[in-house]
């Protein structure tokens, strides 16, 4: 056996041993509600409620996979239980560990950690969709959703996330945000003022793009007489049939009236709602820390999941799943 073969043999043996010593599993922390919350963003009862939807989504995925493979299920999964699968993907989204670290903690090689991240992220999306917790992405879905739910004020705002500096010069210029002094991506969110639920999430775009331009490109429609509360970054945004509440700027060389100042204070108090919601989204470090993943479209998917998980946590307090 030459040195290369010997090195490969040692690596395979190490990987096999490495895959037999998980440090983290759901059963070990299930009864520690505080620790579970810090690792997944969900309390125990919320975790089990979501797990019901997740199991159905996993079974559908597994059945489709077996059908494609002529009934064969492939190698036995390293994450044996449904709870461990859900715990794995929630832990990844919440803590955003390196894949090497994630594999070490769950007793699987880095290659399997990579595989499970992308598989289970899509399963989680299906689960949150079944629970009706995902925000609308297109105008027709948003309009249908708002018509079904009844009238309430809506708050719109943009949020930026840091990404790694692109290697391509053109990409660097495209994604450099002068406001944040770093490279970012951006989404707009529309939030219900009364129920604190995310109604709409825009496409993920380069962070330097202006909020109003993103809103215009989304071409959103709203029910008649909807009141939209926005900041001055949306100056001039006024969808048909809506009323707009927006702080007034101090006129050049002049002062705001006392009435305008009071109006601005009221609007600011309402806009705190969307700031709190964005903070809830960013409980997950994958949308708070510098985003490292390079898989196409994954930056959009994780923001979608973060919004869905916020809605799930928020709605769980008001109804039983």
Integer Cα distance of 101 and 108 in angstroms: 10
Please check whether residues 148 and 290 belong to one and the same domain: yes
Q: Residues 3-14: pLDDT tens digits?
A: 444 444 444 444
Confidence of residue 77 (pLDDT cuts 50, 70, 90): low
244's enclosing H/E stretch is strand 243-245
Could you give the C-alpha distances from 172 to 204, 207, 246, in angstroms and in order?
A: 16, 11, 33
67 and 155 inside one domain: no
Report the predicted TM-score, pTM, of the whole model to 2 decimal places: 0.88
Residue 295 backbone class (left: φ over 0; alpha: ψ -120 to 50; beta: rest): beta
Rg for the chain, CA atoms, rounded: 23
DSSP 156-172: EEEEEEEBPPPSSHHHH
Is residue 113 within 8 Å of 98, Cβ to Cβ? Answer: no
**101 and 190 belong to one structural domain:** no
Is 74's pLDDT higher than 70?
no
Does the residue 16 lie in any domain?
yes
Q: How many domains does the chain have?
A: 2
Of the three residues 130, 154, 177, the one that is the final residue of a domain is 130
What pLDDT, in 10s, does the model give residues 190-219?
Answer: 999 999 999 999 999 999 999 999 999 999
Give the CB-side neighbour count of residue 33, counting CA atoms within 13 A: 5
41, part of any domain: yes
Give a yes or no: residue 104 inside a domain.
yes
CB 186 within 8 A of CB 214: yes
Query: Domain check: are 145 and 275 in the same one?
Result: yes
At residue 100's C-alpha, the angle toward residues 117 and 25, to 5°, is: 65
Residue 303 lies in a domain: no
Q: What are phi and psi of 76, to 5 degrees?
A: -60, 140
**Residue 88 shares a structural domain with residue 223:** no
Question: Which sign does the torsion angle of CA 257, 258, 264, 267 carry?
Answer: negative
3 state SS of 155: strand
Query: pLDDT tens, 124-167?
Result: 999 999 999 999 999 999 999 999 998 999 999 999 999 999 99
Bridge partners (DSSP) listed for residue 159? 187
The stretches of the chain forming alpha helices (DSSP H) are: 3-18, 26-29, 33-40, 44-68, 82-95, 99-106, 110-130, 139-149, 169-175, 211-218, 258-281, 298-316
Within this chain, do residues 152 and 174 fall inside the same structural domain, yes or no? Answer: yes
Q: How confident is the model at residue 112 (pLDDT cuts 50, 70, 90)?
A: very high
Q: At what angle do helices 44-68 and 33-40 cross, to 10 degrees?
A: 50
Cβ-based neighbour number of residue 182 at 10 Å: 16
Q: How many CB atoms lie within 10 A of CB 33?
A: 14
Are 108 and 153 in the same domain? no
Rounded to a whole number of angstroms, the distance between the first and last alpha carbons of the chain is 59
- Same domain for 262 and 149, yes or no, is yes
Same domain, 55 and 156: no
> Of 130, 147, 182, at which residue does a domain stop?
130
Going by pLDDT thresholds of 50, 70 and 90, the confidence category of residue 299 is very high
Lowest mean pLDDT among 19-23, 64-68, 83-87, 136-140: 19-23
- Domain that residue 230 falls in: 139-294
Residue found by looking up tokens 């041993």 in the block: 17
Q: Quote the percentage of the chain above a pLDDT of 70.
A: 90
Residues 66 and 194 in one domain: no
Q: What is the pLDDT, as a whole number, of residue 149?
A: 92
- Cα dihedral: 216, 218, 219, 221 (round 10): -120
């Amino acid at each position: 056996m030459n040195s290369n073969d010997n090195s490969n043999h040692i690596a395979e043996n190490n990987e096999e041993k490495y895959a037999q010593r998980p440090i983290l599993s759901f059963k070990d922390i299930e009864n520690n509600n505080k620790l579970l919350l810090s690792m997944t963003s969900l309390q125990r009862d919320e975790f089990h409620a979501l797990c019901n939807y997740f199991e159905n989504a996993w079974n559908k995925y597994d059945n489709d996979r077996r059908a494609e493979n002529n009934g064969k299920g492939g190698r036995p999964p390293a994450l044996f239980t449904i709870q461990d699968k859900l715990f794995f993907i929630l832990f990844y989204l919440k803590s955003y560990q390196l894949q090497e670290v994630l594999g070490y903690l769950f007793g699987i090689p880095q290659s399997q950690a990579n595989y499970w991240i992308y598989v289970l992220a899509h399963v989680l999306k299906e689960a949150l969709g079944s629970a009706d917790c995902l925000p609308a992405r297109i105008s027709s879905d948003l309009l249908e959703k708002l018509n079904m739910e009844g009238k309430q004020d809506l708050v719109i705002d943009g949020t930026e996330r840091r990404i790694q500096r692109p290697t391509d010069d053109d990409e660097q210029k495209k994604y450099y945000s002068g406001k944040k002094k770093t490279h970012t991506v951006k989404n707009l969110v529309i939030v219900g003022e009364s129920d604190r639920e995310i109604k709409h999430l825009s496409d993920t775009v380069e962070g330097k793009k202006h909020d109003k331009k993103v809103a215009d490109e989304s071409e959103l429609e709203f029910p008649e007489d909807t009141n939209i509360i926005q900041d001055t970054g949306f100056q001039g945004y006024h969808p048909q049939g809506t009323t707009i509440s927006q702080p007034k700027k101090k006129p050049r060389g002049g002062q705001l009236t006392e009435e305008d100042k009071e109006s601005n204070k009221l609007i600011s108090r309402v806009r705190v709602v969307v700031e709190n919601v964005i903070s809830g989204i960013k409980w997950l470090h994958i949308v708070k820390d510098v985003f490292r993943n390079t898989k196409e479209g994954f930056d959009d998917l994780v923001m979608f999941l973060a919004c869905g998980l916020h809605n799930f946590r928020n709605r769980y307090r008001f109804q039983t799943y």
